[in-house]
Amino acid sequence: MLEDLETNEEVRFGTGCASNAAGWTTKEINAEVQRMAKEAAAAKYAAERKRAADEDAAWGAFLTAGAGHGDRISQIRALGGFSAARAAYRLTQTP
C-alpha cells in the first residue's frame, strides 16, 4: 500500500507494481514490508505487555487495599480464596 501524495489516498499494489510506482526494487519493497510487519508486531506486543502490567498493578493494589501488605497468596487467602478475591476485584473494575 502506498499513499498517493496528490490525493492523500491509500493505494493498494502488489509488490511488483508498488516497486514500479515508488521507484524502488521489488527487493526493497519486500524488505520494507517485512520491516513494517515486524514493527507492527513489536508495537502490538508492547501494547499487550503494557495492558498486562497495568492489569497486574491494579490487581496488586486491590489485594493490598483489601488484605494489607504481604505476598499475594496470603492476600488472596485473606480475601476468601482466589474465586472470591477475583469476583470482588471484578466488581471494582469499570466495563
Confidence of residue 2 (pLDDT cuts 50, 70, 90): low
Output the average pLDDT for the chain.
91
Residue 38: how many other CB atoms lie within 10 Å:
10
Average pLDDT over residues 29-46: 94
| Distance, CA of 24 to CA of 1 (rounded, Å) | 14
Q: Tell me the whole-structure pTM to 2 decimals.
A: 0.67
Confidence of residue 79 (pLDDT cuts 50, 70, 90): very high
Q: Could you read off the pLDDT of 3-32 as tens digits, one per residue?
A: 777 888 887 777 788 777 788 888 888 898
